[in-house]
Amino acid sequence: MKGKIEVRSQNTEFRRERAAKPPLSFILNCDFWILYSAFMKLIAEIDGEKRELEIKRDAYSVVAQLNGRHYEIEARDIRQGIFLLIVNGHAYECRLNQADTKRKSLEVSVGTHAYNVALTDPKRLRTAQQPGAHSDGTTAQIVAPMPGKVVRVLVEQGAQVEAGANLVVVEAMKMQNEMKSPKAGIVTSINVKAGATVNGGDVLVVVE
């Protein structure tokens, strides 16, 4: 009996304390509310397909509007870069990875599906860069696809090359890859020598 009374008194005390001081989570909720009570407007490009997105987050609850589709979502932050989104009883585990630092797009995996997502915030005018096209029809840049070592340069500056001609051999992970010209033209610039170490994205040769 005595024990029971004690428990009750503790409970009352707890309630009183709670009334006087809101718990930490409540304060955090308020923080979210103040910062994000308004819908944020963004433009999302998913594998090149544009969507207008309006989104509002209030702790675990997310309301979003995409091209007229309305979603009410329970959102959980599992870990840095992993979100669990529950919509109408369907669970979507979304994992974010920086797909390409140069292109400022994200690779988002939803289950076993992967998408490239580029976000634009019109308010900040911070346009995500368009994925760089390597060839604009008149000039073609041959870009190192990954970090590696140049084994051989097979052409000279000014050389006339056919489409598909081997230009440079780059070795990475013990495999030699022959970098071919995407078009017929003249080699206008060679930026590397045999033996050079290159980074992914470096322009090796330019064909015009």
Partner 1 sequence: MFRKILIANRGEIAVRIIRACRDLDISPVAVYSEADTDSLHVRLADEAYLIGPAPSIESYLRIEKIINAARACGAEAIHPGYGFLAENADFAQAVLDARLTFIGPSPEAMRLMGAKTSARRVATEAGVTVVPGTTEPLESLDEARRVAAQIGYPVMLKASAGGGGKGMRFVATEEELPSAFDTAQSEAAAAFGNPEVYLEKAVERPRHIEIQIFADQHGNFVHLGERECSIQRRHQKVIEECPSPINDAALRASMGEAAIKAARAVNYVGAGTVEFLVSDRTREFFFLEMNTRLQVEHPVTELVTGFDLVREQISVALGEPLSFRQEDVSWHGHAIECRVYAEDPDSNFLPSPGRIMHLRSPSGPCVRDDSGVEAGAEVSIYYDPMISKLAAWGRTRSEAIDRLRRALDEYMVGGIKTTLPFFREIVRDAEFTNGNLDTGFISRFFERRAEAALRMKSEETDEAETTRRDMAAIAAALDYMQAQKQNSTGNQTHAQEEQQSNWRLTGRAALHRRIYE
According to DSSP, residue 126 is labeled B
Distance between CA atoms of 185 and 138, rounded to whole angstroms?
A: 9
Q: What are phi and psi of 16, to 5 degrees?
A: -65, -45
Residue of 7, 30, 146, 184 interacting with partner 1 (CB under 8 A): 146
Asked if 42 interacts with partner 1 (CB under 8 A), we say yes
Asked if 57 interacts with partner 1 (CB under 8 A), we say yes
Distance between CA atoms of 144 and 204, rounded to whole angstroms?
A: 6
176 SS3 class: strand
**C-beta closer to partner 1: residue 11 or 37:** 37
* Site stretch for partner 1 (CB under 8 A), options 4-12, 19-27, 142-150, 183-191: 142-150
Asked if 94 interacts with partner 1 (CB under 8 A), we say yes
Distance between CA atoms of 34 and 192, rounded to whole angstroms?
A: 54
For residue 156, is it left (φ>0), alpha (ψ between -120 and 50) or beta?
beta
Which residues contact partner 1 (rule: CB under 8 A)?
A: 35-36, 40, 42, 44, 46-47, 49, 51, 53, 55, 57, 62, 64, 66, 69, 71, 73, 75, 77, 79, 81-83, 85, 87, 90, 92, 94-97, 106, 108-115, 117, 119, 121, 145-148, 151-152, 166, 169, 171-178
